[in-house]
Structure 1
């Protein structure tokens, strides 16, 4: 098969896949996970049901594929910000903004394959743990808690941005989360030489 033809088919498949994931996500926001059917997804994407079934066997599979795509997009966005700024606080602020922009879809409670959902989310936690480990080594983040636990703390804390009433509230949430990453204040008589501090956060400067 000629490469041009092969590339055209692959592009078509990707377009159908993206349209299906987008339509399903929109339906979930409107009706909830249990209110989505393959018939409605096919209608929203302009596909016949038989064609849709060639790509996905059921709604659950579509939702898992959508979630994996979301996590991948978020990781790419966060990685780009880290590369551009070199600052953990900028990455966490960006993640909070992502949470505030995208309505939370609780797949764990609705799908039978919760392990698959958790696996995709662990990619995000693992990435943040790597960044935190670098900042721990540099003395910018507390070293009395393992980086992976700190990463889980950040992910769960910043998820609250999804219900924040304003951008100012999101910024305050990020500031509180960053405060939890700083080294605890030494008790009286202890040396403060080892106490790390976060890099200056634009979040702290705004919203005051």
Structure 2
């Protein structure tokens, strides 16, 4: 199969959308390949051409979600004032609010350790790359960049997980600002 073929790309996009919608609604372990194919409007043979099982599809579909979070975190200008969170951070928390059911399913108390680990790994890598481009906050020269990045990634994931698991979460803007204040100190 040629992954550059527009038909293959459309099928994969439909499958990713379908699995994200299904995962937001129910436990990934209870989702069948037949259910995914039906939800995506493709036949099972097409689904199996692209993904061997539900876990592979979930991993692939969530990669863009993880990449989105990682890019937004790495784009935050470190010199922004303490009481004005950077726009990428506001946008990140707004994105998470719009997909709260998915993030709750993947990071909340009943979440996926694999997803959390993948997100932490990707966030850490993006932050290290950002630090190598001289975008590291001042005052941390005595801490290895990888350790600093892992610390920040873990903190962000912890805040996101707690926020989406809350029965009455604060607005995205408030949470972004709270995280920024913690980050800046």
Give the TM-score, by structure 1 length.
0.62
Distance 1:117 1:63, change over 3 A: farther
Post-superposition, which runs of at least 4 consecutive aligned residues in structure 1 deviate over 6 A? 107-111, 142-145
CA contact (8 A) 1:24 1:41 kept: yes
Which residue of 1 is the match for residue 60 of structure 2? Answer: 65
Which residue of 2 is the match for residue 55 of structure 1? Answer: 50
RMSD between superposed Cα atoms in Å: 3.7
Which residue of 2 is the match for residue 43 of structure 1? Answer: 38
Distance 2:107 2:155 in 1: 20
Displacement of 1:29 after TM fit?
1.9
Q: Secondary structure at the match of 1:94?
A: helix
Distance 1:160 1:110 in 2: 11
| Rg comparison, structure with higher value | 1
Distance 1:43 1:107, change over 3 A: farther
Indicate which of 95, 98, 103 corresponds to 2:95: 98
Aligned length: 169
CA contact (8 A) 1:96 1:159 kept: no
Distance 1:178 1:47, change over 3 A: closer
Q: Secondary structure at the match of 1:136?
A: coil
Which residue of 2 is the match for residue 29 of structure 1? Answer: 24
Structure 1 unmatched ranges of 5 or more: 1-5, 184-208
Distance 2:37 2:61 in 1: 16
CA contact (8 A) 1:23 1:41 kept: yes
Distance 1:14 1:64 in 2: 17
Q: Secondary structure at the match of 2:171?
A: helix
CA contact (8 A) 2:71 2:126 kept: no
Alignment of 1:94-173 (within 5 A): 94-102=91-99, 103=101, 104=103, 105-106=105-106, 114=114, 118-129=117-128, 131=130, 134-137=135-138, 147-148=148-149, 149-163=151-165, 165=168, 169-173=171-175
Distance 2:39 2:163 in 1: 30
Which residue of 1 is the match for residue 184 of structure 2? Answer: 182
Q: Secondary structure at the match of 1:106?
A: helix
Structure 2 unmatched ranges of 5 or more: none
Displacement of 1:135 after TM fit?
4.5
Q: Secondary structure at the match of 2:106?
A: coil
Higher relative contact order (CA 8 A, sep 6+): 2
CA contact (8 A) 1:157 1:177 kept: yes
Displacement of 1:99 after TM fit?
2.0
